[in-house]
Structure 1
Amino acid sequence: MLSANIQAGSSTRGYHDYVARSWSHVLPAGNKRGSLDAIARLAGEHDIVGLNESDPGSLRSGFTNQTHYLAQAAGFDYWSHQPNRRVGGVASSANGLLSRLEPREVIDHALPGRISGRGVLMARFGEGDDGLLIAIVHLSLGAASRASQLAFVAELLHDHPHAVLMGDFNCPIDRPEMQALFRSTRLQPPDCVVPTFPSWRPQRAIDHILIGDGLSCANACAMPAAFSDHLALSLDLHIPSAALR
């Protein structure tokens, strides 16, 4: 399993690039296709991939749906995306799912927040309450908005033993809003903290793959997602066979 904020294929190799290369976030320039190909090679080593900041087909991506492109390049039969935010009419951002397993159902939910444009993309595998539930989020920078977003997510996942919540949370595990999430759901704090941001000198663990108490995992590690400002987070997820029937 892999969670990756791909920054729409843009390159950020230091804080100075946020200013010096800001044009790459709104214009179809730079080697975005090369970055996507590198991300596809990484994604192809996994069975389920959650994406953040995947452009669904705006000017900056050359009108390429990046989730679809990655699915084709990495050989995934199933993919879905959730466009969330448009920036000045030239850029757009989406959550994305790549899967080698066929989802039984895919659902989009808009998340609350002071500024609109955040969502949770949910996919169900298997039958009934014991099936596997994958939720992909990209949460707000502000603590108050994150708290309301996580409270909304907690209502969706509250008693599910085989839930996985993954994505860019924009905060570490020890934040009060994260602790409230654990109290309200069967999601478990991770056994180890893996720094993912910034990618060139990772110091903050703000990308997470959280799993329910009916699942187990191993081998969590961070790895480059081309030249994104986030490292991708990978782990081995052990799923009971009943959760996929």
Structure 2
Amino acid sequence: MADAPTPTLRLLSANIQAGSSTRAYRDYVTRSWSHVLPSGKRLNLDSLAELASNYDLVGLQESDPGSLRSGFTNQADYLAERAHFPFWSHQPNRRISRIAGSGNALLSRLQPTDLLDYALPGRIAGRGVLLASFGEGADAWQLAITHLSLGVKSRQLQLGFLAELLADSPRLVLMGDFNCDFDAPEMRALYRGTSLEPPPHRIATFPSWAPQRGLDHVLVGGFKVLDYKAVPAAGSDHMAVGVELLPK
């Protein structure tokens, strides 16, 4: 009898801009109210839930944990319920009083064996990494979700921290909004110190209405990449990144 085929994993990384809708640079000004008010976000979240339902694991960045701008709704919880994910976790990293909050989040159809979160170093606090472990023994692997800083010096510190944190993981996925290209000079420490490799090809993810820059990535080690593509993520100013992986 032939062995059963090894199941693939479908993963999505999405900066959801707290459910806001941005379709042109002028919207940052004309729709600035959306950064403090909840109106219009529910429809975007429902569209995101429909997209997420096609994946096994979803990593979110700029997910609001519950503030005025989200209608005091934990957006990760809402998306997990709408897309029928049995497991979810949220790492709040930045809060502006009760007006706005932001963080990383995980939606998963697989039960994690462990969940940890870490604050990342940087000139301005408010960045972090959410680290989930799955499987046991030879099947064990880790998924890290992060959102790096805008400044090069802060990213250098953060990538050095991540390289040390993830150094001992032979099977690994790191996803998120890196705010730089995958071959930026500061990324070299990550490739040198971990099993992670650059993506199979370059995709543009920002701005979503006319993508020109590759800021969002899914980096893997110990997996074969079967599919790697940019995916529209409702009204967010970032495209999401969808991948299909096969364990090596």
TM range, normalised to the smaller chain?
over 0.9
Rounded Cα–Cα distance in structure 2 between residues aligned with 1:130 and 1:143: 36
Once the two structures are superposed, the pairs formed by residues 165-204 of structure 1 within 5 Å of their partners are: 165-204=174-213
Whether the aligned pair in 2 keeps the contact of 1:130 and 1:161 (CA below 8 Å) is no
Whether the aligned pair in 2 keeps the contact of 1:130 and 1:160 (CA below 8 Å) is no
Tell me if 1:19 matches 2:29: yes
Rounded Cα–Cα distance in structure 1 between residues aligned with 2:137 and 2:167: 15
Tell me if 1:6 matches 2:8: no
Alignment-derived partner of residue 4 in structure 2: none
Rounded Cα–Cα distance in structure 2 between residues aligned with 1:121 and 1:185: 17
1:104-129 Cα shifts (integer Å, max 9, x gaps): 01001000000001000000001258
1:220 to 222, 225, 228: 228
2:112 to 103, 107, 111: 103
Q: Secondary structure at the match of 1:164?
A: strand
Whether the aligned pair in 2 keeps the contact of 1:129 and 1:160 (CA below 8 Å) is no
Rounded Cα–Cα distance in structure 2 between residues aligned with 1:43 and 1:182: 28
1:233 to 226, 230, 241: 241
TM-score of the pair, normalised by structure 1: 0.95
CA RMSD of aligned residues (A): 1.1
Q: Secondary structure at the match of 1:67?
A: helix
- Structure 1 unpaired stretches of 5+: 241-245
Deviation at residue 87 of structure 1 after TM alignment: 2.4
Alignment-derived partner of residue 28 in structure 1: 38
Deviation at residue 130 of structure 1 after TM alignment: 5.7
Structure 1 segments of 4+ aligned residues over 4 angstroms from their partners: none
Residue correspondences, number: 238
TM-score of the pair, normalised by structure 2: 0.93
- Structure 2 unpaired stretches of 5+: 1-10
